[in-house]
Amino acid sequence: MSAKKFTILIIPEGSHRVRRLSIKRGVLQTVLGTLVVCGLGVLLLVADYVRTNLDSNELQRLQAENRSQQKDLWVLSASLEDLRKEMVVLSQNDAKVRVMAQLSKPRTDSLAGVGGPPEEDIPTEFTALQQQIDEIRQAIDLRRESQEEIQGFLNDQRSLLAAKPKGWPVKGWLTSNFGMRNSPFTGRLKMHEGLDIAARTGTPVYASADGIVSQSETAPGYGKLVVIDHGYGYKTYYAHNSKIFVKVGQRVKRGDQVAAVGNTGSSTGSHLHYEVRRNGVPLNPHKYI
């Protein structure tokens, strides 16, 4: 049989008197149960306190991080607004350049169409920021395309200017103009397709534009002849030379010496016969001097 009572002996130090304390089984169980429950309660309170402390620290950390991110967003938004204003100025300057270059207007800056899945629960500041980023990205792409087009146009114009004959090919005096004249050999009326510029034999003859030598030879009537192909349909002819200093295929620049004045071919004296042609049609060289 299990005991109904428990006896606790209390023996004080230095005393011979022993005290007895009898406790009923039920009371002891109640006390022990209460102690266990109180202990568990204390443990739960401590755990809850620790968890609450941790949650509070985490919340403070997240709040501080959120404030920092919000500040960064404000700074980024301000920077994007400044960049957007600069893009507007660039767009205006771009339009002015295109007007001066007589180019067509660039395609519109507005989006042709947008779409995508529904976007829910996106903070307003993030939506506005993303919109600014998209607009600036598109503006940059448009400006890049426009600048490439303008650069291409300017390169073409630069090439055309370099290829267009300009200036006197030799120092001398004009003895015969472009147009109809009486031939010095037959006396008959004949088209003179260039200019005759008298000069001493050996006087330098210069290219009047950039190009590539397409002929460097002795030709019937022309004598020692140099022909330069400048592109864009332009060609210049330098005839009756005493010497030739360039070869076929050689690239020359405006002002490079290509020959020396002479009296070769069908010529009555030392001079340079100079022609300008475009797409094979003789033009009045006076327009290019």
Nearest Cα neighbor of 261 from 281, 241, 285, 289 is 241
Q: Domain residues of the chain, as ranges?
A: 5-69, 74-107+122-163, 173-288
pLDDT at 114 over 60: no
CA distance to 29, 32, 34, 35, per residue, from 4 (Å): 11, 16, 19, 21
Task: Write out the two tokens for 41.
Answer: 């309660």
Rounded Cα distance, 11 and 29, in Å: 24
pLDDT at 286 over 90: yes
pTM: 0.55
pLDDT at 194 over 60: yes
The architecture of the domain spanning 173-288 is: Distorted Sandwich (2.70)
pLDDT, position 45: 85
More confident residue, 238 or 44: 238
Cβ count near 212 (within 10 Å): 14
- Per-residue pLDDT tens digits for 48-92: 888 887 777 777 878 777 777 777 777 777 777 777 777 777 777
Kindly report the three-state secondary structure assignment for every residue of 142-169. Answer: HHHHHHHHHHHHHHHHHHHHHHCCCCCC
Q: Which amino acid is at 205?
A: V
Rounded Cα distance, 196 and 183, in Å: 13
Nearest Cα neighbor of 258 from 220, 227, 219 is 227
